[in-house]
Structure 1
Amino acid sequence: MGKSTVYFTDFRCPVGTSQLDKLKKVCLAAGIKNIDMDGKFVAIKMHFGELGNLAFLRPNYAKAVADLCKAQGGVPFLTDCNTLYPGSRKNALEHLDCANLNGFNTITTGCQILIGDGLRGTDEVEVPVPNAEYCPAPKIGRAIMDADIFISLTHFKGHESTGFGGAIKNIGMGCGSRAGKMEQHTSGKPAIDLEKCRGCRRCAHECGSDAITYLNGKAVIDYDKCKGCGRCIGACSFDAVYNENSCANELLDRKMAEYAMAVCQNRPCFHISLVQDISPNCDCHGENDAPILPDIGMFASFDPVALDQACADACLQATPIANSQLGEHLAKPDWHHHHDHFLDSNPNVEWEATLDQAEKIGLGTRAYELKRV
C-alpha cells in the first residue's frame, strides 16, 4: 500500500472567512464530493460530550458537514452509541437529552440525531472482520450499520487509556454497542455496588442469561452464567451495576482497531478530525482539564489510519502548554521524560498499538502525504 493523502488547514481566519468555511474547504479538497450520496443515508459519527464537559466539538461543525452531505443529495444524521459507564449518555433518552443540552438538535445541526444502538444499548449487529485477531465479529450499533455511507467527525484529544482519542477511537469504541464496549474494555464481567442497589430487579429482567438473582433484596451475579454483555449496566437506573475490570491498554487499542474495521469495511467512508481543545482526557468525562497543547487545525482523509498518524505527528511536534497536565508533568525535576506528549501526559498508555493493528488488518496505512489547503 502506498502513501495516503491527508489534507490540512489551520485555524487562522482572515476577515470574511469563518472556521466553518475552512472546514468545508478542507473536506472538498480531500474529495468528499467523490462519494455518491444521492438519496443515501449518511451516518455522521461524533461525540456529543458528557454533561459538564466543554471540550467536545461545537454543533456548528456538525452542521457544516451535514450541509455538505445534503448538497450532494445525501440524507445525513448524527449518531453515537450509548456508554458503558454510568453517566448522562447510558441510554438513548438520556443521551438525546444530553446532546440537546450540549447544543445538538435538528435546528443547530440541520439533520436528525439517532442513537446507534437503541434505547438500552442492545440494538446491535455482529459484523465479521476477516483479518481480526481479537474480535472476529464486533458488535456495532444497528443504525450505524444500516447507513449507506459513514463519516467520522472527530475531536482529536488526549486520552487516559489509549493515549489519544482520534478517528479510530471515535469509530471503534464509539460505534460499539454496550456489549461491544464490554468486549473491548474488559475481559471480565460486571459487578454490583450493593450500597446503590435498590432491588428493583430491572437488571435481572434485562439479563438474557438468567445470571442475576437476589439475596436480601440485593442483586447477585452468577458468573458461571454471565456472558459479560453489559446489558444490566444500561438497565440499572441507580448506577449500581458497573464494569470493574479494565482491559490492558495495548489489548484495548488493538480491539478498538478491529471494531473500526467492522464499521468502515465494504462501504464509502470519509474521516475528519479537528485538533483543538486538546484536553488530556476523553470527552466522556463530566469535566475537561485545560488543553495540553495549542490548537493545531483541521484534517481530512479517506484513510482513518493515515489521518490519526498525521494528527498525532502534529501534536508531537507542538509545544506543550505550561499550565496543563502535560506541562506540570514536564516541569517536575524528577519526571522521567518520554519525549512523547501523549506518554508524558498519561504515562500508562500504549497509543501506537492502535495504528499498528489498524494497518495490520488493512484499515489503512500509517504512511501519508500531508497537503495543506
Structure 2
Amino acid sequence: MKQSKVFFTNLRATPKMNLLQKLEKLVKKAGIEEIDFKGKFAAIKIHFGEPGNLAFLRPNYSKVIVDVIKAQGGKVFLTDCNTLYVGRRKDALEHLDAAYENGYNPFTTGCQIIIGDGLKGTDEAYVPVPCGEYVKEAKIGRAVMDADIVISLNHFKGHELAGFGGALKNIGMGCGSRAGKMEMHSDGKPRVRSKTCVGCGACGKICAHKAITVTDKQAQIDHARCVGCGRCIGVCHVNAIAAAWDESNDILNKKIAEYAWAVLHDRPHFHISLVVDVAPFCDCHAENDVPIIPDIGMFASFDPVALDMACADMANQAPVISGSYLAEQLAKQGCDCGKLDHFRVTHPETNWQVCLDHAEKVGIGTKSYELIEI
C-alpha cells in the first residue's frame, strides 16, 4: 500500500506565529481545504474532558478548525457521544454542562455543540460493517452519521484498555452510542445492580424483546431473550444497569477499528492529533496524572491509521519524564527506557498495535507514512 502523508509541526512559537496560527497552517498544508465543505454538515469529533481532568484539549484549538471550515462554507458542529460509565457525561444534559464547564460553548468555539447519540444515549444509527470480524452492525450516534464530513480533533494520550487514545480511539469508541460502547467493551450482556435498582420499570418498557421483568421492586434480565442492544442502560435514571466489561483488550481494540470503519467509510474525513499533556490515562478520568513524556507537537493527515502510527513513533522516541507514572513503571519492571514502547510499559496488559493492524486490515488506512514537517 502507498505511504500516507502525515504533516507535523513542533510547538515552538514566536511573536509572529503562535500555536493557533501554527495549527491553522498545519491543517491547510495537510489539505483540509481540498474537502468540499460548501453547504455541508461537518462534525468535529472531540473529547470535551471529564470535569476535574485538566489535560483535555483547550477549546481554542477547536475554534481554529471551526473557522477554517466556516471559511469554506461548511455547516460545522462539535460532537461527542455519551459515556457508558457513570460520570458527568452519561446523558446529554450533564454532557453539555461538562463541556461548558470545561470551556466548550458556542461563544468560545464559534459553533454549536451536539451530543451525537441524544438525550439518553439511545439516538443511534445502525451501520452495517461488511468487513467486520467482531461487529456486523455498529451502533453509532445518529448526529455523527447524519453529518456529511467527519473531522477528528484528538488529544493523544495513554489509555488503560487501548494502550493509547488517538484518532482511531476518538472515532471508533467515541462515536459509538452507549449501546455501541457496551458492544465494544463487553462479550456478554448487561446486568442489574440489585442494590441500586429501584424497580421503576423504565428498562422493561424500552426492551423490545421482553427480556426484562420487575419483581418485588427489582429488575431482572433474561439473557436468553436479551440481544445486548444496551438501550436499558440508557433509560435507567439511577444507573442500576451495567455492561459486563468482560471483553479482552485485543478484541476491544479490533472492535474500535471496526467501529471507526463504520463512521468513516464512504465519506470525506480528516484527522488532527495534538501530542501534548500526554497523561498515562484517558481524559475520561475526573483527574489527570502528570505527563509521561514532554509535549511533542501537532499532526494532521487524511489517514487516521498513519496519523496514530506517526504519533506513537514520535512519542516513543521522546524521553521519559522523571517522577511520572511511566518512570515508576520502568523502575518496577527494571526496563531500559531507551529501548521500550512507552505505552506497553505504561499498560502492559494491552497492545495498542492490535488496533492499528486491524484498521489497516479492514481498509481504513496504512501504518506506512511519510512525515512532512512544516
Cα 1:208–1:285 shift into 2, 3 Å: farther
Q: CA deviation at 1:236?
A: 2.0
Q: Report the equivalent of 1:25.
A: 25
* Native 8 Å contact 1:44 1:153 kept in 2: yes
Question: SS state of the match for residue 288, structure 2?
Answer: coil
Provide the rounded CA distance (Å) in 2 between the counterparts of 1:333 and 1:181. 32
Provide the rounded CA distance (Å) in 2 between the counterparts of 1:368 and 1:33. 21
2:216 corresponds to 1:242? no
Return 172-181 or 196-205, whichever deviates more.
Answer: 196-205
Q: Report the equivalent of 2:199.
A: 199
Provide the rounded CA distance (Å) in 1 between the counterparts of 2:185 and 2:323. 31
Q: CA deviation at 1:333?
A: 6.4
* Native 8 Å contact 2:187 2:244 kept in 1: no
TM-score by length of 2: 0.96
Identity rate of aligned residues, in percent?
59
- The root-mean-square deviation of aligned C-alpha atoms, in Å, is 1.5
Deviations 1:241-265 (A, max 9, x none): 2123331011011111111111111
Question: SS state of the match for residue 137, structure 2?
Answer: coil
Q: CA deviation at 1:286?
A: 1.4
Deviations 1:250-287 (A, max 9, x none): 10111111111111111111000001111111111111
Return 229-238 or 272-281, whichever deviates more.
Answer: 229-238
**Aligned partner of 1:364: which letter?**
G
Q: Report the equivalent of 1:325.
A: 325
Structure 1: 5+ residue stretches without partners: none
Cα 1:336–1:243 shift into 2, 3 Å: farther
Deviations 1:146-190 (A, max 9, x none): 111110000010000010001000000111112211111111111
Question: SS state of the match for residue 128, structure 2?
Answer: coil
Cα 1:212–1:305 shift into 2, 3 Å: same
Q: Report the equivalent of 2:364.
A: 363
* Native 8 Å contact 2:123 2:142 kept in 1: yes
Q: CA deviation at 1:229?
A: 1.8
Displaced runs of 4 or more, over 3 A: 333-338
Q: Report the equivalent of 1:86.
A: 86
Deviations 1:318-363 (A, max 9, x none): 1111211111111236569881100111110111110101111110
Deviations 1:208-239 (A, max 9, x none): 32222223312211111222222222222222
Provide the rounded CA distance (Å) in 1 between the counterparts of 2:44 and 2:357. 25
**Aligned partner of 2:176: which letter?**
G
* Native 8 Å contact 2:207 2:232 kept in 1: yes
Q: Report the equivalent of 1:299.
A: 299
Deviations 1:94-141 (A, max 9, x none): 111111111111001000111111111111112223322221221111
* Native 8 Å contact 1:189 1:245 kept in 2: no
* Native 8 Å contact 1:10 1:296 kept in 2: yes
